[in-house]
Structure 1
Amino acid sequence: MRLNPEKIADLSPERLDSILRRSMQDVSEIYNSTKTILDDIRQRGDAVNVEHYLKLKGDLKAEHFLVTPQEIEDAYRQVPDEVVKHLKIAAKNIVTFHTAQLDRPQWQMEVMPGIIAGRKNTPLDSAGCYVPGRRAAYPSSVLMTILPAVVAGVKRVVVTTPPDEGLVANPYTLVACDIAGVKEVYKLGGPWAVGALAYGTDTITKVAKIVGPGNKYVTAAKMLVYGQVDIDSPAGPSEALLLADSTGRPEFLALDFLSQVEHDPDAAAVLVTDDPGLAQAVCDEIERLYPTMPRTEIMDQAMRYCAILVAEDMEAALEFTNTYAAEHLEIVTADPFLTLQKVRHAGSIFMGPWAPVPVGDYASGTNHVLPTGQAALSFSGLSVDDFIKKPTYQYLTKEGLASLGTTITTLAEAEGLPIHAMCIRKRLES
């Protein structure tokens, strides 16, 4: 495996497009098959999920999907105490950070004499958190999806996670659910889980919002049920961009680069720097480390989405950074706080040589459910705000209404809505 530095100014349009596009998948090709599953769940409910999971458990009934207290107890016996201890530390930091995101619950102002307007915060009644499973355990994703909802004040939080043979949920996932305080956990995955959460079945009550990462079928299902329920941003394979100047340490940056591509065959890592010497040193360090690394069978595939890029100067490096709009952005520059002011698009930002992406993945408190595939151009990472509605309100005195009477009636009639205007005149004439 060999990476070579590439100058951004010399990239062909095709090469630049392939770097920016990374492994973005067009899920439209699976819309029809996914929609068929969702439509079936809407009509037949639990029966569809039972039929699908009979392959894992022959005597399956709908009530078997709900995780029991005994399964939680069994999970604690399988997860090392040291892991439990550190999941609790991570949970504490996540709660602390997300509690700070809470706005004042209600505010109001006098817009004009006699006109009071304001806004109040109302948490969602329910939320469904999708947690990937089977191929790997992600207890950190359990904490990242559940705890912002809990902090926001959501009364009912539900978790779905794909089961293994015998309809068994991953014990690490179950322990993390218990630490986060959620008891309603269902052993369901893919579109079957999304459909059950969106439409409800006899055994699973529908939710108001579905959040959490999944594969392309989960993403397609979430996009198809949007409108029936709310969803977070569409999630794709993980990615990171490392923005560095001459102060960057090649041994750190090489490991940060490789840690990103060990995620998944479709993961992406890009280093952008204005220092050709640093770019070459990182390439050399990656080549030296690579034969000693685990998970190279995954990294070999992911490398097609990776690049080491040299910009003409730091302004050009920042321009590329904002265009790439990475899920994770590391800033390793002489003054990362100054650089931060020039960053417009990123899911989560890691500043300085001592803040690699894994600190946010697990324990610093920020959320790791983030927009991918340039979605950071318009989406933010998961937060307390995702679980709070913010309705506005207004109170007017008669004098306040009179001060706006002509404005309202004029605009209503201009839009061809005369009864709107009558609502105002009738009150002012009374």
Structure 2
Amino acid sequence: MKIIENPDRSDWSELLKRPTKTVNDIEKTVTQIFDDVKRNGDEAVAKYTSLFDGVSLEENVVTEEEIAYAKSQVSDDLKVAIQTAYKNIERFHGAQKTDKVEVETMAGVSCWQEKRAIDKIGLYIPGGTAPLFSTVLMLAVPAKIAGCKEIVLCSPPSTTGKIANEILFAADLCGVSKIIKVGGIQAIAGLTFGTESIPQVYKIFGPGNQFVTVAKQLATKYGVAIDMPAGPSELLVMADDSANAEFVASDLLSQAEHGADSQVILVSTSKVLIDAVLKAIDAQIEALPRQTIAKKAIANSKLIYVESDDIALDLINEYAPEHFIICSKNEDLFVNGIRNAGSVFIGNYTPESAGDYASGTNHTLPTNGFCKAYSGVNLDSFLKSITFQKISEKGLLGIGNVIEQMAAAEGLEAHKNAVTLRLNDLNKN
């Protein structure tokens, strides 16, 4: 990891760049695959599954028999762990329900807002080197609480044509409607257009690599909503000399092992801590089964020394981390001052892994600086807010002239006339 001391503010933008390709580098590939899937449906999907995942499937929809077998292969201990995480996630997201908002804005004019579930949603669950069965819980649990009618899950198959047993167990636990063995760009295209085996959905959720992220963004051009732009994982830790260097190193490595294009950053007001963390990383990384991946991510990562907590806070808000860990004596400054972050973890005994799996908060979060404008997945992500209004005769008599005046001033005579006709009818009576 590169150590940077007291970087000038004018250099922050360059310093905090993510190690990702630009959209232009991969958009052409994504567009070509989208066009192919739109024209040729399952035939195109099968072609890309063979090309990218190395397997030819006779059937890409997971059967009940496959689910039953997968459930039998998951250990009892892991089942209990998954069920415990399920309950915590359900508890936290269930608490996010809100009541109908109703107000009489003036006499006889009633306005209210109610929420309705999005009927059809698609969940993308990464497979590959680390099948993320935890993401099934993070997406399917709030979808069920919201009342979504159709939940379609796509995940890339292994070279043997299987989806990880843990993913199938979690999907069954959460009541997913349909599970399909398809990944990458072709999965997002299939959910966007619909194919013979993949239902078209209204909104797509889930993290993925840069190709999946661009594919989701392209899906919006065809009228399909997405949760957020969520690409390679990232973590920023703010730690001072009150932090435990071993803990900090373990947190940085926990994100580095996600993928070679992940990024981790330590910001600190202590040079002594930075040196200790660097040594701890060097020691811990050698014991990791995914050390090759972690080392590549670490090469893209930074240890940044700054002279004060206030400077640190400004830099962190500029970076807008997906995950933000605070290990500082001045904890309240960072908790109260953070404006741009996906999820925040406070104190030496709050590892980022807790949010990834089981504390209850959602781990599907905006990356690449999108925390400046986007929230992580929550219950409202699966809902639409619909406004209603009802105006009585008395109400129209009170508000009618206001509408007429405004419509006339905008030159929209038909708008005015829709009110005038009603007022004339009331005045006759």
Range into which the TM-score falls when normalised by the shorter chain: over 0.9
Alignment of 1:81-96 (within 5 A): 81-96=76-91
- Residue 239 (structure 1) aligned to one of 234, 242, 245: 234
Indicate conservation of the 8 Å contact 1:19/1:306, yes or no: no
Matches within 5 A, 1:93-112: 93-104=88-99, 106-112=100-106
Identify the residue that residue 43 of structure 2 maps to in structure 1.
47
Is this contact kept in 1: 2:208–2:232, CA < 8 A?
no
Contact 1:9 1:312 in 2 (8 A): no
Q: Say whether the 8 Å CA contact 2:20–2:210 is kept in structure 1.
A: no
The reply on whether 1:198 has 2:196 as its aligned counterpart is no
Structure-2 change in CA distance of 1:6 and 1:40 (3 Å): closer
Quote the residue 1:363 is aligned against.
358
Kindly tell me: are residues 295 and 134 of structure 1, through their superposed partners in 2, closer, same or farther at Cα, counting changes over 3 Å?
A: closer
Q: Could you tell me how far apart the structure 1 residues matched to 2:253 and 2:341 are?
A: 20
CA contact (8 A) 2:285 2:294 kept: no
Q: Which residue of 2 is the match for residue 6 of structure 1?
A: 4
Separation (CA, whole Å) in 1 of partners of 2:242 and 2:257: 25
Structure-2 residue corresponding to 1:177: 171
Please point out which of 103, 110, 116 is paired with 2:110: 116
* SS of the residue 1:65 aligns to: coil
Residue 258 of structure 2, aligned match among 263, 269, 284: 263
Equivalent residues in 2 for 1:66-85, closer than 5 Å: 66-85=61-80
Alpha-carbon distance in 1 for matches of 2:156, 2:375: 26
What's the RMSD between the two structures over aligned residues?
Answer: 1.9
Whole-angstrom CA distance in 1 between matches of 2:285 and 2:191: 42
Residue in structure 2 matched with residue 131 of structure 1 by the alignment: 125
Cα deviation, residue 42, structure 1 = 2.1
Secondary structure of the corresponding residue to residue 120 of structure 1: strand
Q: Give the letter aligned to residue 143 of structure 2.
A: A
CA contact (8 A) 1:245 1:314 kept: no
Identity of aligned residues (%): 36
Shift of 1:41: 2.1
How big is each residue's C-alpha offset from its partner over 1:102-123, in whole Å with a ceiling of 9 and x where there is no partner? Answer: 111x221111111111100101
**TM-score, normalization: structure 2?**
0.93
Distance in 2 (CA, whole Å) between partners of 1:17 and 1:367 is 28
2:388 equivalent in structure 1? 393
The 3-state SS of whatever aligns with 1:92 is helix
2:159 equivalent to 1:165:
yes
Native 8 Å contact 1:5 1:283 kept in 2: no
Q: Per-residue displacement from partner, 1:122-162 (whole Å, max 9, x unpaired)?
A: 01111100001132211111111111111111111110001
More deviation, 16-25/108-117: 16-25
Deviation for aligned residue 1:209: 0.6
In the alignment, structure 1 residue 312 sits paired with structure 2 residue 307: yes
The Cα shift of 1:190 comes to 1.5
Report the counterpart of residue 30 of structure 2 in structure 1: 34
State how far apart, in whole Å, the 2-side matches of 1:92 and 1:83 are: 14
* 2:327 corresponds to 1:329: no
Deviation at 1:94, TM superposition (A): 0.7
Does the aligned pair in 2 maintain the 1:4–1:280 contact within 8 Å? no
CA displacement, residues 308-334 of structure 1 (integer Å, 9 cap, x when unaligned) = 112221111111111110000001122
Deviation at 1:243, TM superposition (A): 1.1
In structure 2, relative to structure 1, the CA distance for the partners of 1:255 and 1:320 (3 Å cut) is same
Note the residue ranges of structure 1 that are not aligned, 5 or more in a row.
none
Helix, strand or coil at the partner of 2:304: strand
Q: Secondary structure at the match of 2:16?
A: helix
Structure 1 residues 136 and 292 mapped into 2: Cα distance closer, same or farther (>3 Å)?
closer
TM-score (norm 1): 0.93
Equivalent residue for 2:349? 354
Name the CA distance, whole Å, in 2 between partners of 1:328 and 1:319.
16
The answer to whether the 8 Å contact 1:19/1:305 transfers is no
User: Which residue does 2:216 correspond to in 1?
Assistant: 222
Structure 1 residues 221-271: Cα deviation after superposition (integer angstroms, max 9, x where no partner)? 211111521101111111111112331111211221222212211111111
Instruction: Classify 1:166/1:244 alpha carbon distance in 2 versus 1 (closer, same or farther; 3 Å).
Output: closer
Secondary structure in 1 aligned to 2:77? Answer: helix
Q: Structure 1 residues 285 and 165, CA, compared in 2 at 3 Å: closer, same or farther? A: closer
Report how far residue 335 of structure 1 moved: 5.1
CA contact (8 A) 1:413 1:421 kept: yes
Q: Is the 8 A contact 1:131 1:159 kept in 2?
A: yes
For residue 278 of structure 2, what is the aligned residue in structure 1? 283
Q: How many equivalent residue pairs?
A: 422
1:284: Cα distance to partner? 3.2
Question: In 2 relative to 1, CA 54–318 (structure 1 residues): closer, same or farther, beyond 3 Å?
Answer: closer
Distance 1:170 1:300 in 2: 26
